[in-house]
Amino acid sequence: MKILNPIIKNKKPALLTIGMLMLAFASVANAAQLQISATQIEQYQGKEIGEKVGDLIWRGGLDLEGPELFGGVSGFTFLEDDNWVMVTDRGRFFSGQLVYENGSPSQMINTQISPITNSSGNPLPSNFSRDAEGVETIFRNGKPTAIRVSFENLTRVADFSLSNNRPLSPARELPLPHWLAHLRTNKSLESVCIASPASPIAGSTLLITEGLPNDAGDHSGLLLGNRDKGLISLKNQRGFNPTDCAFLANGDLLVLERGTGFFSFTMQVRQIAANQVKPGAVMEGEIILRGSGGDIDNMEAIAIRTAKDGSTRIVIMSDDNFNDWERTLLLEFEMPQ
């Protein structure tokens, strides 16, 4: 497959006009409160909270339920003070705060739902355009200022401003190369993450596709950055496809992958050394966590948070696809020091 990389100029202004500000206020007005119930999960692979699972430490989880509109969670990111934003494959934002008891997740509070919008500030018009799959927080001077969202089907990446830890309209689309922007499939952009300050490619955005193999049969990816830009790939591991990514504070990359077994899902998390994430690289890494059966579900989202004790926590979430036989799970693990 020959891939071209044309230069596309971004003509959108950097400053908000009065009209754009009005749209932003309108998006806040369209937000609605949402009540989510949470049942705590105490065991993973038969291990109790605080015990080691793979290379990580199990810290507990939640089985989440809500009204009919809640579900389809395909991306998850932390802002600050355990505030978070989720995106769904039906074009909605969820935002709220995760509460902890004794170091384990216990409930979600202050939850709101709002529509994901287009560049005109209007809700996305069709399911084809609503399929948000990944979300990442953009930090400026250590503060969350915006979120970056990846979409499949109508493939694109867009930024949304934040106000009081809630996403605002309108969308501001990023320029993408032709080979990626013109994909019209639900196997395109699953993963978006931004390299942490300690990374050799700090501040660059990493995009990983789910079902777009390159000539070597590996998962195609792209780096967007001022200096670090170009093609990158993820080594294909049979039976798994990448669904999300996140950078650790030390610059290492985590990739969440999903597969299917006998009547159930499987998943794994790979850790890739910081110096292996660069243009032209074939990323491979080491598996640090596995899951299957009733311990997991359709795992699609991964996010990183720093706990109050300073430990690094990995949070993984599942997409229930609005099916009665799937669940919305939140599972949390600690990276050993």
What integer pLDDT is reported at residue 115 of this predicted model?
Answer: 97
Tokens of 19: 């009209």
What integer pLDDT is reported at residue 337 of this predicted model?
Answer: 83
Mean pLDDT of the chain: 91
Those residues whose C-beta lies under 8 Å from the C-beta of residue 226, and which sit 6 or more positions away, are 203, 204
* E-strand stretches of 71-163: 73-78, 83-88, 92-101, 104-115, 132-140, 143-151, 156-163
Contact 207, 194 (CB under 8 A): no
What integer pLDDT is reported at residue 4 of this predicted model?
Answer: 31
Helix (H) or strand (E) holding 190: strand 189-194
What CA–CA distance (Å, rounded) separates 67 from 113? 11
Strand partners, 328: 64
Per DSSP, helices labelled H in 115-217 are 127-130, 178-181
Q: Cis peptide before 170, with omega less than 30 degrees from 0?
A: yes
Report pLDDT digits (tens) over 250-279. Answer: 999 999 999 988 789 999 999 999 999 999
Domains and CATH numbers, the chain: 47-62+69-335 (2.120.10)
Mean pLDDT computed over 37-61: 98
Mean pLDDT computed over 118-122: 95
What integer pLDDT is reported at residue 250 of this predicted model?
Answer: 97
Report pLDDT digits (tens) over 127-146. Answer: 999 999 999 999 999 999 99
Nearest to 312 by CA among 234, 250, 262, 263: 250
Mean pLDDT computed over 95-108: 97
Per DSSP, helices labelled H in the chain are 18-29, 127-130, 178-181
Model confidence at 226, in pLDDT bands (50, 70, 90)?
confident
Model confidence at 8, in pLDDT bands (50, 70, 90)?
very low
What integer pLDDT is reported at residue 298 of this predicted model?
Answer: 97
pLDDT at 212 over 90: yes
What CA–CA distance (Å, rounded) separates 267 from 331? 12
What integer pLDDT is reported at residue 30 of this predicted model?
Answer: 76
